[in-house]
Amino acid sequence: MQDVSTTDIAIGKISNISNIFASGTDKGIFELAGKSKIGQALGDEMDHMEFYVNKKAMVSTMSELFGIVEQKNKE
């Protein structure tokens, strides 16, 4: 890796990080449902493609990938 990267991280730490990623389960490719439109949400007065994710799709994907669960407010 010396030819393509520079770091001050010790080789032991790099090995540990590598093992964390290698031990994960490949879950494939996820595609979030949502709507695309042309808009000016950036405020630069230029048209850009914008994507608005479907909240249920986002929560479902985050749950599946990371075990994150949506919490309801107690208001």
Domain residue ranges in the chain:
11-66
- What is the pLDDT averaged over residues 5-12? 82
| pTM, two decimal places | 0.48
Question: 64 burial class (0-12, 13-18, 19+ CB within 10 angstroms)?
Answer: exposed
Residue-wise pLDDT tens digits, 9-20: 888 888 888 877
Residue-wise pLDDT tens digits, 40-69: 988 899 999 999 999 999 888 888 887 777
Q: Is the pLDDT at 74 greater than 70, yes or no?
A: no
